[in-house]
Amino acid sequence: MTLAETLVEVIGLTKSFGSIKAVDNISLSVNRGEVLGFLGPNGAGKSTSMKMITGFLTPTSGTIKISDNDISVNPIEAKASIGYLPEGAPAYGEMTPLNFLSFVAEVRGIDKSARASRVDEIIEKIHLERVAHQPIDTLSKGFKRRVGIAQAILHDPEILILDEPTDGLDPNQKYEIRALIKEMAADKAILISTHILEEVESVCTKAIIISNGGVIFSGSPLELSSKSRYHNAITLVVSNKDVEKTTKILKELEEIMAIEHIAEAELTRVTLIPYSSEVEISSLVKARMADYECEILQLYIEQGRLDEVFRSLTNQQKSGEVIRS
């Protein structure tokens, strides 16, 4: 069995600004082939953590190793392994994307003979062709974000650290960037800071949630969704004329804790929440509905709702409570 290659290792990371502890004893690791989602509400300490991990901010305490290089001891070697998309994706606004990426390629030490072809390749990959000769200051937020992603991957680093990579992008652009992240993840370690929960479900292999500067969850997206009250809940789609009857007969099942309704035109979604997510209730529900001749137009088992788990965890006020799976 091949041991996982750890490319990012953070131990006990802490940052204080005077009496305010912005980041409190955070530890994480990202192996080659993994995508770690770094989640938290606004002001939780995500961007501060990213700046420390990339060497742009000195921690108060803690250790950061990038490709086995301690970033405080060997900062140049460590940073050479990183592609970083910072918050806001700053760039030289008077430059065009083509000029800016050519400049970054030179700074990154890409061979002069390969520079132009590499820049052209990245412009095509990130779909910047039609704005390549336009000043960056005149671009939309989405295109500015794409320029930031382009400079992060230009030198083909083995570690990508992306702060809100799809912020400002439209749904099609988000899909393209997420597909690109999944494609690159095969041979890289990727850390994504985000508040978009669908991003975690879509591209991440594991997740960490921080709140008030500290870790409150560490595990896989599946383990995170399993903490939802909707995990293994059943949602039925029934005709509006059958809602009252459906609710009445299913309320009698002792395995069901609660029933929720969402009406949609002529149909209603009826969600059945079990007392225990370990109990499989779909066969009971189907049998009950068949006995009373109630038609099920659609039935599916819920994996869990990340937004509900996220709210629940980040609203917890118990100091130091860490949930690990």
The enclosing domain of 268 has a CATH number of: 3.30.70
Residues 11 and 111 in one domain: yes
Q: Which residue has the higher pLDDT, 2 or 207?
A: 207
The SS3 call for residue 9 is strand
Looking at the fold, whether 253 and 208 belong to one and the same domain comes out as no
Within-domain flag for 292: yes
By residue range, what is the domain housing residue 150? 6-225
One domain for residues 219 and 257:
no
Pair (259, 212) in one structural domain: no
In a domain, residue 325? The reply is no
If one compares 42 and 70, the residue with the highest pLDDT of the two is 70
Considering 225, 251, 275, which residue would you say is the last residue of a domain? 225
CB count, 10 Å around CB of 287?
Answer: 10
If one counts the domains in the chain, the total is 2
Q: Is residue 70 part of a domain?
A: yes
Beta pairing class for 35-39 and 189-194: parallel
Q: What is the pLDDT of residues 170-215, one digit of tens each?
A: 888 888 889 889 988 989 999 999 888 888 988 999 999 999 889 9
Greater confidence (308 vs 89) lies with 308
Say whether both 175 and 267 belong to one domain. no
Lowest-pLDDT choice from 156-160, 190-194, 207-211, 276-280:
276-280
Please report whether residue 214 resides in a domain: yes
Residue % of the chain over a pLDDT of 70: 96
Confidence of residue 139 (pLDDT cuts 50, 70, 90): very high
Shared-domain flag, residues 132 and 216: yes
7-47 residue pLDDT tens: 999 999 999 999 999 999 999 999 999 999 999 888 888 88
| Among candidate residues 167, 192, 225, the one where a domain is terminated | 225
Query: Do residues 272 and 243 share a domain?
Result: yes
Q: How many CA atoms does the CB half-sphere of 100 hold within 13 Å?
A: 27
Provide the terminal-to-terminal Cα distance of the chain, rounded to the nearest Å. Answer: 23
> Is pLDDT of 316 > 80?
no
The pLDDT tens digits of the residues spanning 211-232 come to: 988 999 999 998 998 888 899 8
- d(CA 86, CA 47) in angstroms, rounded, equals 8
Q: Which pLDDT does position 235 carry in this prediction? A: 93
Q: Are residues 215 and 272 in the same domain?
A: no
Domain boundary among 225, 253, 276: 225
Residues 36 and 101 in one domain: yes
Determine, yes or no, domain membership for 148: yes
- Give the confidence band of 3 by pLDDT, cuts at 50, 70, 90: low
- 90 domain-assigned: yes
Query: Residues 204, 76: one domain?
Result: yes
Angstrom CA distances, 188 to 33, 36, 47, 153, stand at: 5, 11, 21, 11
Residue 307, domain member (yes or no): no
Give residue 260's pLDDT band: very low, low, confident or very high (50, 70, 90): very high
φ, ψ of residue 107 in degrees (nearest 5): -60, -35
Is there a single domain that holds both residue 191 and residue 238? no
Q: Identity (one letter) of the amino acid at 271? A: T
Query: What's the CATH code of the domain at 177?
Result: 3.40.50.300
**Both 64 and 207 in a single domain?**
yes
Residue 314 lies in a domain: no
